[in-house]
DNA sequence: GTCTATATGTAGATAGAC
DNA sequence: GTCTATCTACATATAGAC
């Protein structure tokens, strides 16, 4: 049974995805990239934090860029899938917006470091060809939110005088920048923050009920 | 009249503040730091953009850090002064908040690059002792806004159920992150953005008038 | 999977001529 | 005020032993 053709974690080449050690190292790198910044973090910093020497990292990864690439792709794939599900299931624009916000905050539990990196380093990484998908992902998010806002305007649940592009940026910045100060072990749960934000947001942009 | 003891721009030592060339070079550096990031910008990049060689920069500045230091201090001093004036002159909390927002957006005309640098690089620069004042400045801003929000709550013009610390971060992020996409030569004036934002913000957090 | 040893590039910064 | 020339340090990455 050992000589099966299926690649188990025992015989899979180390430089491909799936090994537990890789995952550990990626988590360590993600944390450092998020807190110190990608450029300010050296491969020696990562190796030190992992208790190995810098050269040993190259047994697992091609380069520092490959590491951040994997971290970001994992987050963006996950986020895109979840957004699509929200849009499929939401019965109306107001629910859709609320759920998109709540779901973005929820992502902070799982992808806190990746979100911070996406926020802080996109401007730099987008200059490199291999990270073109970051620009595409940002455009995808924008299209999704703007469509929901416009649908809501047409349906009369969002103010007609709202500049949807501006409102989108407003919501996006509000949600994502939370990662800069959010503390996963603090008093405020991501759910509580989401509730407070959605409340401020909706009572600002929702058309008041006609009496 | 030439042999006066007063330092004119003719005889002032080049490495002190005031010369026009310094100001030009600082503006060029600020633009690069803002768009590419502080670490990603090399002194050679700055020199290239200025049409000189990298060594020549050191006739004007001690180091790359000194350059960003000057850029940030100029912005923060200006901003602090303006905030104090707003607070002195605003007759009530709602006006104070509105004017603080409007004034922050107005700062984007004069200090766009510095604001972006302050936003993007503070986390890294704060690790260095010489930039301790960045942490202090951020705390000062926070205290100012929170005081106004609390005053407004006590006066009954802001919702009593508002989490002021959360609302502050909400406003701060909303305002400052605009610099990431604000285009000084675009259709939207900073004043128009401010109006739209203040509207969304206030109709969200202002207590509705009792009929 | 990690270590030893090292190649290679490039960054920030300096000294002195013009 | 800028250039020429160069120093020094450190970053990413590699090759092969264990």
Chain A to chain B, count of Cβ pairs less than 8 Å apart? Answer: 74
Burial class (CB in 10 A: 0-12, 13-18, 19+), A105: buried
Residues 39-78 of B with CB under 7 A from strand D: 47, 51-56, 59-60
Q: pLDDT digits over B70-111, tens only?
A: 999 999 999 999 999 999 999 999 899 989 999 999 999 899
Structure tokens at A165: 């592009």
- Among A6-15, A28-37, B165-174, B175-184, which range has the highest average pLDDT? A28-37
3-class SS letters over chain B:
CCCCCCCCCCCCCCCCCCCHHHHHHHHHHHHHHHHHCCCCCCHHHHHHHHCCCHHHHCCCCCCHHHHHHHHHHHHHHHHHHHHHHHHHHCCCHHHHHHHHHHHHHHHHHHHHHHHHHHHHHHHHHCCCHHHHHHHHHHHHHHHHHHHHHHHHHHHCCECCCCCHHHHHHHHHHHHHHHHHCCCCCCCCCHHHHHHHHHHHHHHHHECCCCC
Question: Which residues lie below 8 Å from residue B207, measured CB to CB, with a gap of 6+?
Answer: B156, B157, B158, B159, B160
The per-residue pLDDT for A201 is 84
Cβ of B58 less than 7 A from strand C:
yes
Question: Which residues lie below 8 Å from residue B70, measured CB to CB, with a gap of 6+?
Answer: B17, B26, B61
Question: pTM for this structure?
Answer: 0.91
The per-residue pLDDT for B206 is 66
The per-residue pLDDT for A76 is 98
Q: pLDDT digits over B121-159, tens only?
A: 999 999 999 999 999 999 999 999 999 999 999 998 888
Q: pLDDT digits over A53-82, tens only?
A: 999 999 999 999 999 999 999 999 999 999
Cβ of B64 less than 7 A from strand C:
yes
Percent of chain B scored above 90 by pLDDT?
A: 62
The predicted model gives B50-78 an average pLDDT of 98
CB B107 within 8 A of CB B76: no
Which residue would you say has higher pLDDT here, B59 or A8? Answer: B59
Residues 10-39 of B with CB under 7 A from strand D: 14, 19, 21
Bases of chain C with protein Cβ within 7 A: 1-6, 10-16
Query: Considering Cα of B78, then B80, then B86, then B88, what sign does the dihedral take?
Result: negative
Placement of tokens 């810098």 in the chain: A54
**Does the distance separating the beta carbons of B36 and A39 come in below 8 Å?**
no
For residue A150, which of A170, A138, A161, A164 has the smallest C-alpha distance? Answer: A164
Question: Which residues lie below 8 Å from residue B142, measured CB to CB, with a gap of 6+?
Answer: B168, B172
Spans of chain A, pLDDT less than 50: 1-13
CB B119 within 8 A of CB B179: yes
The per-residue pLDDT for B2 is 43
């Amino acid at each position: 049974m050992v000589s099966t053709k299926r690649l188990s974690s025992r015989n899979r080449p180390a430089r491909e995805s799936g090994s537990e050690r890789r995952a550990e190292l990626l988590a360590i790198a993600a944390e450092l990239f998020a807190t110190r910044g990608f450029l300010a973090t050296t491969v020696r910093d990562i190796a030190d934090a992992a208790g190995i020497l810098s050269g040993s990292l190259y047994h697992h990864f091609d380069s520092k860029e490959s590491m951040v690439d994997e971290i970001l792709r994992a987050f963006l794939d996950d986020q895109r899938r979840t957004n699509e599900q929200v849009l499929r299931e939401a019965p109306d624009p107001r629910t859709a917006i609320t759920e998109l916000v709540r779901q973005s905050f929820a992502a902070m539990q799982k992808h806190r470091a990746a979100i911070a990196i996406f926020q802080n380093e996109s401007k730099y990484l987008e200059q490199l060809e291999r990270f073109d998908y970051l620009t595409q992902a940002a455009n995808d998010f924008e299209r999704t939110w703007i469509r929901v806002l416009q649908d809501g305007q047409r349906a009369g649940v969002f103010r007609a005088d709202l500049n949807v592009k501006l409102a989108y940026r407003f919501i996006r910045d509000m949600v994502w920048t939370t990662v800069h100060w959010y503390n996963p072990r603090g008093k405020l749960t991501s759910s509580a923050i989401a509730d407070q934000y959605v409340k401020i947001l909706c009572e600002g942009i929702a058309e008041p009920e006609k009496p």
